[in-house]
Structure 1
Amino acid sequence: MADITLKQIEYLMAAAEAGSVTGAAAKLFLSQSAVSTALTDLEQALGAQLFVRHPRGMTLTAAGREALAEGRRVLAGVEEMRETARANVDSLAGRLRIGCYSTLAPVLLPRVIDGFLRKNPLVDLSFIEGSQSALADALRSGTIDLAIVYDYDVHEMRHPDEFTLRRVHASEPYVLLPPEHRLAGRRTVSLQELESEEMILFDLAPGGEYFLSLFHQAGLEPNVRFRTSSFEMVRAMVARGLGYSILSQRTDISMSYEGKVFTVCELAEEIKPLGISTSRLTRARPTRRMRAFAEELSRQLSSWRTGGNQES
């Protein structure tokens, strides 16, 4: 069997990202023939077709997608080997790709990234935002190294042989009300008092299921008037007086993009908080960069206050 080289894996990644040999060659500053030959040799070494060639470029086959994910893990392992070798003389360096649940990202990632890069300026950090299912797919494909998710009923990541989840924080839900609402100004509001009121449901999974479960577990059925997958849309509609909502991620500003304010209060019931966890592929050994980022995430989350975010 022919040997597989790191260069071939790098060419595979470049071709997959560019969607063509021409684009990969330009990205790698190589000739098209060199890239094409390397990819053909890789396919022969693996005994599988990795790309479907067509007039406008090339797309990965199922075997190609699996090879790409494995290749990314191999290169990550090589980078970790280099990092370990220079650990005693250099700061952390290399690539780190983070994924974050969409509504957590704007209230959490900026402060974590800032704190992390102040300590580790040589790390090439990038991030994506998305739903829980999108982040699970990104972990599987090797697009990201670590995901930050809510761990409520996270179907996509409940297989310990595939994903390793570690809870780092728990976020208690709270109520958003228009300033003129009859319940506004209260310190606490019960779910029973909210049941008949028009609700604006934040419905990006797993948020919608979680917020509805609060009522269902109490034997109640909320009056859902509107549904939206946008965190800021919820805040804007509440501020407009179109209903109340329940959210879990908190901000320091109780104001919509339009500059209209809303009020917040706590739920009267003792509610099981919504856990925030990191997730990674179980078979991918965590790098020092991943561990350092997770430590900074935990540090920043520990500084959160009940009423909002506290800069540290």
Structure 2
Amino acid sequence: MNISLNPSITLRQVLHFVVAAETGTMSEAARRLHMAPSAISMSIAELERIVGAQLCIKRKSKGLTLTSTGIVVFRQARQLLDLADEIASLSKRDRTEIRGPLTVGCFMPLGPTIIPPMLADFADQCPHVEVDFIEGYHEDLQDRLLNGSIDAAFVYDMDISPALKTAPLLSVEPYILLPGDHPLREAEVVSLKDVASSPLIFFDAPPISTRILDMYRDAGLTPDIRHRSRSYATVRSLVASGRGVAVLFQQPMLDAPYGELKVVLKPVAQPRVHTRAPATVSLAWTRSMRLNARAQAWVDVAVERFGPAGSYTGPLG
């Protein structure tokens, strides 16, 4: 379905519809736009009248659901807003002049270490952009990027859809998490063979879980998986209680020193022949849609903050 630009359609109506669709409720859209919910509802109703079709269904318990026509209109409406934003930003080189909402995503385990510094840096440079973030896992974030509900997302650059484009930010190396009383607690590095007899507390979230299994396979080992979890906190607690060891790809920010948490984190000793590229944290967005000024600024600030892949020396590496 192609929608021609009707002179009676205003950018304000389009903006109200897009924000309501992205937030899922009229009340949240009204909060973000600093308007009354009734005004948002009337604006969308007028847009529906012009289009000649119902764009969304409002249910008290489930919020706002787009109709099939609404989904098509939403995608084209976002493109229209992005184009308008692009035109308005042609003469604005100062990021402090960029305005409007931005919704970004982040792979769940990366959130504590990436989102806080990014929000702080971005707020300093783009104070008029209202950023909302969504934490999720690999497939969910890619789906959200492709359906247009988020503008960009921090992900591991593995098993990425060809429909997405990525900007590599930093490389991360694997670590082995040991119980605090483990015999190897004083070792500088630990190999997978060193802990091959220990049960594995498996961080079960692709694509990192796939990389962990590949590491065992490359070492000629089969992991003895005792427990699986998608929570770093749960994995850490199970290791601390002596249930096994874990392989992680980052040093998660903790609410207490490792010693107090009764765990020890050790770099993985790499084999002499190491052919696999390091895991890379990247920022991803939809290849088919040009980044609007807000999303482009988010990408630029991320690259400035973390640097090209391999150059960052912060808590993830």
Q: TM-score range by the shorter chain?
A: 0.7 to 0.9
Query: What is the one-letter code of the residue matched to 2:45?
Result: S
User: Could you tell me how far apart the structure 1 residues matched to 2:60 and 2:131 are?
Assistant: 35
Query: CA RMSD, aligned part only?
Result: 3.2
- Higher mean alpha-carbon deviation, 61-70 vs 124-133, is at 61-70
1:214 deviates by 0.6
For residues 265-280 of structure 1, the aligned pairs below 5 Å read: 265-269=266-270, 270=274, 272-280=277-285
* Counterpart position of 2:136: 130
For residues 197-208 of structure 1, the aligned pairs below 5 Å read: 197-208=198-209
1:91 deviates by 3.2
Structure 2, unmatched stretches of 5+, are none
The percent of aligned pairs where both chains have the same amino acid is 29
**1:65-99 C-alpha deviation (Å, 9 max, x unpaired):** 23212212321321232223343696333322211
* Counterpart position of 2:235: 234
Please tell me whether residue 40 in structure 1 is matched to residue 49 in structure 2.
Answer: yes
- Higher mean alpha-carbon deviation, 219-228 vs 249-258, is at 249-258
User: Could you tell me how far apart the structure 2 residues matched to 1:102 and 1:163 are?
Assistant: 19
Shift of the 279–90 alpha-carbon distance from structure 1 to 2, 3 Å rule, reads closer
* Counterpart position of 2:302: 297
User: Could you tell me how far apart the structure 2 residues matched to 1:109 and 1:89 are?
Assistant: 19
Query: What is the one-letter code of the residue matched to 1:187?
Result: E
1:175 deviates by 0.8
Q: Which has the higher contact order (CA 8 A, sep 6+)?
A: 2
Which of residues 91, 94, 98 in structure 2 aligns to 1:92?
A: 98
* Counterpart position of 2:89: 83
- The number of aligned residues is 298
**1:124-182 C-alpha deviation (Å, 9 max, x unpaired):** 2221111121111221232211111001223xx2x1xx211221211111111011112
* Counterpart position of 1:287: 292
User: Could you tell me how far apart the structure 2 residues matched to 1:115 and 1:89 are?
Assistant: 12
User: Could you tell me how far apart the structure 2 residues matched to 1:139 and 1:228 are?
Assistant: 25
Q: Name the SS for the 2:159 alignment partner.
A: coil
User: Could you tell me how far apart the structure 2 residues matched to 1:31 and 1:285 are?
Assistant: 29
Which of residues 134, 148, 157 in structure 2 aligns to 1:151?
A: 157
Q: Name the SS for the 2:90 alignment partner.
A: helix
For residues 228-267 of structure 1, the aligned pairs below 5 Å read: 228-251=229-252, 253=254, 255=256, 259-267=260-268
User: Could you tell me how far apart the structure 2 residues matched to 1:254 and 1:20 are?
Assistant: 37
Shift of the 255–226 alpha-carbon distance from structure 1 to 2, 3 Å rule, reads farther
- Higher mean alpha-carbon deviation, 291-300 vs 175-184, is at 291-300
* Counterpart position of 2:69: 63
Which of residues 5, 14, 17 in structure 2 aligns to 1:12?
A: 17
Please tell me whether residue 111 in structure 1 is matched to residue 112 in structure 2.
Answer: no
1:215 deviates by 0.6
User: Could you tell me how far apart the structure 2 residues matched to 1:12 and 1:38 are?
Assistant: 8
Which of residues 29, 36, 41 in structure 1 aligns to 2:39?
A: 29
User: Could you tell me how far apart the structure 2 residues matched to 1:299 and 1:137 are?
Assistant: 27
Which of residues 101, 106, 131 in structure 1 aligns to 2:107?
A: 101
**1:186-229 C-alpha deviation (Å, 9 max, x unpaired):** 11111222222111010112121111111112221111111000
User: Could you tell me how far apart the structure 2 residues matched to 1:152 and 1:89 are?
Assistant: 31
User: Could you tell me how far apart the structure 1 residues matched to 2:60 and 2:117 are?
Assistant: 46
Give TM-score scaled by structure 1 length.
0.82
User: Could you tell me how far apart the structure 1 residues matched to 2:90 and 2:128 are?
Assistant: 15
User: Could you tell me how far apart the structure 1 residues matched to 2:24 and 2:253 are?
Assistant: 41
- The answer to whether the 8 Å contact 2:196/2:221 transfers is yes
